[in-house]
């Protein structure tokens, strides 16, 4: 069998097009020409990459037929034509790349490809590295402008399970750039009736539809989930503008594959981590509406930050106190080196106390006169030293368990708690 893998990335801009649209047209054209294809893949890579347009995603297709050299030439020509037609070459930040790899080369270098997948998820890769890698394993690449897209094109080809799915619908050309008309109520109904098999359809906290993009791209909406059949049903429930076509992609969205367990000492910027540690500095509000606290493990300490767009998630974070034991999930920013929290697991809650302000002598109210002077009763004027004030344990306002940012602030790769709670990725292949 001589199958072929195709990877494509970095074709669109904030103003125009979408790499998944090229994948859909390519799939359609190749099928029309008699080829058989696997489900296309939409693979997200390191979310800390600064060149990304939106969610740092690349696409990959796999042709399953026994291909002759002539077939391969035909497939490559069709791919090149579509990429050239639907890339926004005018945008400085758009640097398309295409990668072709034969099945036999893919199999021969499977382990290296798996390592590349990890690298493109965890680290910042440079174009030369990707270029050398593709040449070394006997693949072929095509670069336009800087050709940065080959990094993600290879990343998409190299991906391994776990996968979820996204059903993407596309608009008729005459609708591109116009306001999307999707009935909000139908999205809420779809969300409720397909739970827990679809996710991030609607943000109830911010009353916002999440399935429609905000750019003038060809996508009408995308429904994310873990079951293809449910996604098809979900599509039927959405009312409003009628899509022209749709494609179901296999994707690493909602899987947390960009995160790995790390000790604080090992942490470096622009990577995804899960860190277990004890809260050593209480949360504080900082400029911009963000909330910052510090955790430590046996190797060091690091700040963890819940950004303003995470809205009510910050209220959970504000309830943490020194001594709590947590696992922080997130990506690491560079200056200062801090974890941008995507999710938090509270594992152990410290006891929280308040000072008993009732006078032990007369029952009046004690008033603080500062650490040195202690407390003085307003009524009987007795003075009680600071360290002798009784403490009363109070109930904590948070419970042990997982807490996550709202859908509108979630990264594509972050695994929603509903997937964790219902164990929905267990049997994925």
Q: Applying CB under 6 A, which residues contact ligand ATP?
A: 9-10, 12, 18-19, 45-46, 49, 51-57, 95, 120, 123-125, 148-149, 151-152, 155
Secondary structure element (H or E) that encloses residue 394, with its range: strand 391-394
**Do the Cβ atoms of 64 and 36 come closer than 8 Å?**
yes
**Do the Cβ atoms of 406 and 208 come closer than 8 Å?**
no
**Do the Cβ atoms of 337 and 267 come closer than 8 Å?**
yes
Nearer to ligand ATP, 155 or 243 (CB): 155
Nearer to ligand ATP, 57 or 225 (CB): 57
Nearer to ligand ATP, 156 or 341 (CB): 156
Least spacing, CB of residue 129 vs ligand ATP, in Å: 9
Residue nearest to ligand ATP (CB): 152
Nearer to ligand ATP, 19 or 194 (CB): 19
Nearer to ligand ATP, 12 or 324 (CB): 12
Least spacing, CB of residue 321 vs ligand ATP, in Å: 37
Least spacing, CB of residue 54 vs ligand ATP, in Å: 4
Least spacing, CB of residue 73 vs ligand ATP, in Å: 25
* Surface-to-core class of residue 301, CB atoms within 10 Å of its CB (0-12 exposed, 13-18 middle, 19+ buried): middle
**Which two tokens mark 297?**
């493990």
* Surface-to-core class of residue 15, CB atoms within 10 Å of its CB (0-12 exposed, 13-18 middle, 19+ buried): middle
Nearer to ligand ATP, 314 or 410 (CB): 410
Nearer to ligand ATP, 15 or 296 (CB): 15
Least spacing, CB of residue 64 vs ligand ATP, in Å: 25
Nearer to ligand ATP, 3 or 169 (CB): 169
CA-wise closest residue to 211 among 191, 233, 236? 191
185-191 LR contacts (CB < 8 Å, sep 24+): 185/239, 186/237, 186/238, 186/239, 186/240, 187/211, 187/238, 189/237, 190/223, 190/234, 190/237, 190/238
For 233-288, the DSSP string reads HHHHH--BSPPSEEEEEEE-TTS-TTEEE--GGG--SS-EEEEEEEEEEEEEEETT
**Which two tokens mark 149?**
């897209």
Least spacing, CB of residue 121 vs ligand ATP, in Å: 7
Strand partners, 295: 279, 302
**Do the Cβ atoms of 52 and 149 come closer than 8 Å?**
no
Nearer to ligand ATP, 269 or 323 (CB): 269
Least spacing, CB of residue 48 vs ligand ATP, in Å: 8
Least spacing, CB of residue 13 vs ligand ATP, in Å: 8
CB atoms within 10 A of CB 92: 8
Grouping H, G, I as helix, E, B as strand and the rest as coil, residue 181 is coil
Nearer to ligand ATP, 55 or 364 (CB): 55
CA distance 22 to 94: 15
Least spacing, CB of residue 392 vs ligand ATP, in Å: 51
Least spacing, CB of residue 276 vs ligand ATP, in Å: 25
Secondary structure element (H or E) that encloses residue 300, with its range: strand 300-306
């Amino acid at each position: 069998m001589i199958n072929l893998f195709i990877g494509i990335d970095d074709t669109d801009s904030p103003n125009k097009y979408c790499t998944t649209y090229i994948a859909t047209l390519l799939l359609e054209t190749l099928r029309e020409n008699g080829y058989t294809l696997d489900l296309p893949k939409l693979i997200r890579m390191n979310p800390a990459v600064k060149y990304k347009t939106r969610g740092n995603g690349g696409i990959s297709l796999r042709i399953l037929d026994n291909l002759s050299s002539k077939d391969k030439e035909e497939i490559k020509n069709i791919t090149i034509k579509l990429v050239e037609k639907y890339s926004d070459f005018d945008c400085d930040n758009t640097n398309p790349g295409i990668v072709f790899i034969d099945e036999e080369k893919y199999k021969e270098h499977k382990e290296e490809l798996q390592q590349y997948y990890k690298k493109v998820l965890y680290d910042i890769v440079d174009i030369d590295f990707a270029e050398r890698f593709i040449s070394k394993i006997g693949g072929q690449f095509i670069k336009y402008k800087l050709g940065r897209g080959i990094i993600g094109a290879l990343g998409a080809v190299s991906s391994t399970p776990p996968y979820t799915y996204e059903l993407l619908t596309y608009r008729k050309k005459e609708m591109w750039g116009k306001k999307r008309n999707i009935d909000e109520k139908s999205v809420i109904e779809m969300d409720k009736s397909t739970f827990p098999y679809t996710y991030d359809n609607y943000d109830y906290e911010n009353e916002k539809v999440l399935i429609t993009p905000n750019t003038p791209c060809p996508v009408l909406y995308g429904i994310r989930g873990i079951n293809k059949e449910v996604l098809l049903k979900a599509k039927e429930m959405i009312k409003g503008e009628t899509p022209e076509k749709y494609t179901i992609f296999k994707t690493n969205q909602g899987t947390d594959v960009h995160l790995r367990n790390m000790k604080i000492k090992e942490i470096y910027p622009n990577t995804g981590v899960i860190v277990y540690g004890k809260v050593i500095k209480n949360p504080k509000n900082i400029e911009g509406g963000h909330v910052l606290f510090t955790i430590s493990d046996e190797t060091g300490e690091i700040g963890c930050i819940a950004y303003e767009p995470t809205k009510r998630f910050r209220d959970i974070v504000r309830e943490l106190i020194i001594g709590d034991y947590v696992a922080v999930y997130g990506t690491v920013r560079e200056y200062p080196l801090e974890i941008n929290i995507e999710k938090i697991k509270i594992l152990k809650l410290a006891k929280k106390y308040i000072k008993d302000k009732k006078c032990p002598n007369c029952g009046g109210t004690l008033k603080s006169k500062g650490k040195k002077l202690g407390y003085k009763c307003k009524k009987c004027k007795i003075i009680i030293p600071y360290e002798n004030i009784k403490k009363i344990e109070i109930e904590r306002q948070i419970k042990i368990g997982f807490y996550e940012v709202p859908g509108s602030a979630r990264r594509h790769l972050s695994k929603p708690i509903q997937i964790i709670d219902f164990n929905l990725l267990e049997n994925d292949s």
